[in-house]
Amino acid sequence: MELLQVPVDFLFNINTLILVMTTISLAQGDSKTLKLLEGDKAEMDFPYPCSNSKVTLRMGNQTPYYNSILGTASLPMRYSVQEQNATGNGSCSLHVMINPVSRNDEGACILNVYQGDDVLKEYTKSIDLQVDFPPGKASCKLSQEYKLGDWVSLHCTAPVGTLPGEIKCFQSGMRIPPVGTPFQTNQVLEQTFWVVKRSHPTFCCTSTQEEPVDMCECKDSVWEPSNAEQSNNTKDPCPKIYTVPSSSPISNNSTMEAIAYTQAMHSSKKSYILTIVCMFLPVIVIVLVFVVISGVIVYKSKRQNWKINQLKKKKSSVSQDKVVYMKVPTA
């Protein structure tokens, strides 16, 4: 009689499947969900009966990082596990704190209570830790798709997050309008903006859709008009103004540059409005010329009609003067 030989890989897959099904079964004892933002502090409590032979704590299918017999395994500095003493009802607990919490901490944190080698399923507790995070940093470069006079389009991309996000850009101290709505795939967030080619640097950054953005902190990516092919973040959108005593000569070039750039930002609003006016000035002139020509035509038409009416009245009065009345005979 021949024995059936089962491949080792098949046995490994079967064991993995059994482990996953066991995890699901164990997590059915008591399961909760904890939703946090990346950077927040996560605190979780796991109560269990003090009368047990062993308690373990693990993340998903990983090896337990806490064992009441062996102690706590090597954990990142952000993790801490504290044992709570028994209360009046004979219950103990584990207090787990993760500060700050990261997207890599996401998953099910499962407490298993043992009596001998058996798991007490009724005391199994699972907390599903869900960590939301915003989009990553923006990266922008000049796009060849849109051009209009001194206006060019800047194409920006950023890694997506779990929270709905958008990219915002500032130039000359003002928010730049986007060309269209944000476009998002499973991995990348994309958005395009109009910028003035012959103007000050453009500062771009990402944020969630409901999060206000401080212009002075928006510096994920910086586009320089003088260096259109590169994007860097070496400049400050809100440079500080340094006060120099009048008796001391100014020798610091960076200070001079910061002062000059700040003054330019204060006057940039006027130049921006002037640029918009110059863009629409030809249209305004054409409209005004059309209105004037239309007015002249209407005036001439009315003037001609008035002359015709006057001529008709004159002819009518002349014809009345030439009427010959019949003589009435006299006796």
At 125-134, the pLDDT tens digits run: 999 999 999 9
Q: Does the pTM exceed 0.85?
A: no
Residue 22 is predicted with a pLDDT of 42
Residue 145 is predicted with a pLDDT of 62
Residue 27: burial class (beta carbons within 10 Å; 0-12, 13-18, 19+): buried
User: Residue range 209-229: average pLDDT?
Assistant: 83
At 272-328, the pLDDT tens digits run: 677 777 778 888 889 888 899 988 898 888 888 888 888 877 777 655 555 444 454
Looking at per-residue confidence, does 160 or 28 come out higher?
160
At 29-50, the pLDDT tens digits run: 578 999 999 999 999 999 998 8
Percentage of the chain beyond pLDDT 90 is 31
- What is the longest distance spanned by two Cα atoms in the chain? 168
Q: For residues 75 and 164, give the distance between their C-alpha atoms in angstroms, rounded to a whole number.
A: 32
Which residue carries 């006016």 as its tokens?
277
CA angle, corner 169, sides to 168 and 174, nearest 5?
Answer: 115
CB 83 within 8 A of CB 42: no
Q: Among 239, 240, 236, which Cα is nearest to 203's?
A: 236
CB 127 within 8 A of CB 47: no
At 72-112, the pLDDT tens digits run: 887 888 999 998 876 667 789 999 999 999 999 999 999 99
Looking at per-residue confidence, does 99 or 194 come out higher?
99
Is the pLDDT confidence value at 139 over 90?
yes
Q: 248: which DSSP letter?
A: S
58's CB contacts (< 8 A; 6+ apart) are 64, 65, 66, 109, 110, 112
* Same CATH fold assignment for domains 30-132 and 139-232: yes
CB 108 within 8 A of CB 29: no
Residue 179 is predicted with a pLDDT of 83
Looking at per-residue confidence, does 59 or 19 come out higher?
59
At 142-169, the pLDDT tens digits run: 877 666 667 888 899 999 999 999 999 9
CB 114 within 8 A of CB 50: no
Average pLDDT of the chain is 77
Q: Is 209 helix (H, G, I), strand (E, B) or coil?
A: coil
Residue 60 is predicted with a pLDDT of 87
Residue 162 is predicted with a pLDDT of 93
Looking at per-residue confidence, does 188 or 21 come out higher?
188
Indicate the domain borders of the chain. Answer: 30-132, 139-232
At 238-273, the pLDDT tens digits run: 876 655 444 434 344 444 444 544 554 555 556 667
CATH 1.10.10.10 fits 139-232, yes or no: no
CB 204 within 8 A of CB 221: yes
Select the CATH number that applies to the domain covering 30-132 from these four: 3.10.180.10, 2.60.40.10, 3.30.70.260, 3.40.50.11540. 2.60.40.10
Residue 173 is predicted with a pLDDT of 86
Residue 170 is predicted with a pLDDT of 92
Buried b (16+ CB within 10 A) or exposed e, 199-238: bbbbbbbbbbeeeebeeeebbbbbbebeeeeebeeeeebb
